[in-house]
A and B are shown apart, each in its own frame.
Chain A
């Protein structure tokens, strides 16, 4: 009888606590990292940006995304360029990256960011409704619970970036007047 009781308890316990509560990763961050890497295959940077490391800078705090980007940088290149992930929390730290991702918290500084990027060939990626119409080239948006992205081709071209028509077809189009 004692053995039976012990086994009854075994039946009860693992049914809730037998495995960890929740997945180990941040799926949203992983998706953003996948998209950011994918953009490099649909966009062409000017010749002078094809030497040295391919720099992706994150302006703001997003530890999940940084982790995913760093994981990606360990196994992927952009052409022959090694991927280098940077992060800054100050406007002065933006530098001259190939891609600048601006967290929603720092989106209010968009006009200052655009000023800093003047004359550079940086793909400006934001994540707040309406920002593709206010200067960013790509803006992550949520549509039907899904991560999508708006593309403002005109804004991208202002930075001397060539955007493939395939990317235009996959993105939610935003013209400069929106």
Chain B
């Protein structure tokens, strides 16, 4: 089945559903006109009609109008802004569907609205992933929050916490990767990575990845202080100050790495990090203990 044919069938089915959801509604002239234009594939005319309708006094509390409003703008998005990660049409569609579902009593239409919100949510989510980079991360987070809105409006009992943890861990790692790539030029990404992982830990203090990454982040930072911030010409008192800062970072890394270890004691990377942190803290006995555990674990594999 080619793509165009597929889209036509999908639109026909959506319109059939649309006519079903409008059956019980007290529609306005503009809603009916918008619907008619939709059936004829005249999406721009449908927009004019629904825009007029939404300015009428009764529209704000009419789920029918909000639903058609959402549907028209969803189609506009698909037609004109399908690749625009900041599509204004899509945002209008989202808000309209959310408004509709919030005041709706028609089970049939609520189901249709949920489907539309799920569709929009998946598009927001895709764009959140697509823009997960240093240039576009603000757009990514905005789109992720739109995804959240759509998902929770469609399924209020959805376990969004799991998705939040997943998203913010990925965001934190993107920041961390940027910081690691150029520590001097990208110093701001250290703070962004730290704040993002901390956000994950406020959502779920027992998330392994965020704990591990926080431990790793601070450990790396402590070593960076020694390597990047100390010049060979610095006097000894300056070196002592830098060392204090570095050790402070190592100490901050420890509780996160230890928690990650308690959660996943058989993961190599946790043992590597713990052994390294203790080494950096000049606690060679504990460093060696975790090194031995790592070697034992590798022998078991």
* Interface positions of A (Cβ within 8 A of B): 1, 3-4, 7-8, 10-12, 14-16, 18-23, 25, 27-28, 30-31, 34-35, 37-38, 42, 72, 75-76, 142, 144-147, 167, 170
Contact = CB atoms under 8 A, between A and B. Distances in A.
Interface residues on B, range: 35 or more
Interface in B200-257: 209, 212-213, 216, 219-220, 222-224, 226-227, 230, 232, 234-237, 239-240, 243-244, 246-247, 250-251
B28 interface: no
Contacts of A76: 232
B176 A23 contact: no
B71 interface: no
Contacts of A142: 282
Nearest to A144: B247
Given A12-B166, A22-B276, A37-B232, A146 B247 contact: yes
Nearest to A41: B235
30 contacts: A1-B122, A8-B166, A11-B166, A11-B170, A12-B166, A15-B170, A15-B172, A16-B173, A18-B173, A19-B173, A19-B176, A19-B177, A21-B269, A21-B273, A22-B220, A22-B276, A23-B227, A25-B223, A27-B223, A27-B246, A30-B230, A31-B239, A34-B230, A34-B232, A35-B236, A72-B232, A145-B250, A145-B283, A146-B247, A147-B243
Contacts of B125: 4, 7
Contact of A146 (B122, B219, B243): B243
A16 B223 contact: no
B29 to A, nearest CB: 38
Nearest to B281: A145
Contacts of B236: 35, 38, 42, 167, 170
B192 interface: no
Contacts of A20: 180
A30 to B, nearest CB: 5
Contact of A14 (B174, B243, B280): B174
Contacts of A19: 173, 176-177, 180
A138 to B, nearest CB: 12
A28 B279 contact: yes
A146 B223 CA distance: 13
Given A27-B223, A75-B232, A22 B273 contact: yes
B173 A14 contact: yes
A142 B285 CA distance: 13
B227 A27 contact: yes
A14 B175 CA distance: 11
B116 interface: no
A80 B168 CA distance: 54
Contacts of B33: none
Contacts, number: 113
B151 interface: no
B280 A28 contact: yes
A3 B169 CA distance: 20
Contact of A38 (B166, B235, B283): B235
Contact of A145 (B166, B227, B232, B247): B247
A163 B272 CA distance: 41
Nearest to A72: B232
Nearest to A18: B173
Interface string B170-191: 1011101100100000000000
A145 B286 CA distance: 12
Contact of A23 (B169, B173, B219, B232): B219
Most chain A beta-carbon neighbours within 10 Å: one of B169, B273, B280, B282:
B282
A79 to B, nearest CB: 14
A7 B147 CA distance: 14
A146 B236 CA distance: 13
Nearest to B179: A19
B244 to A, nearest CB: 7
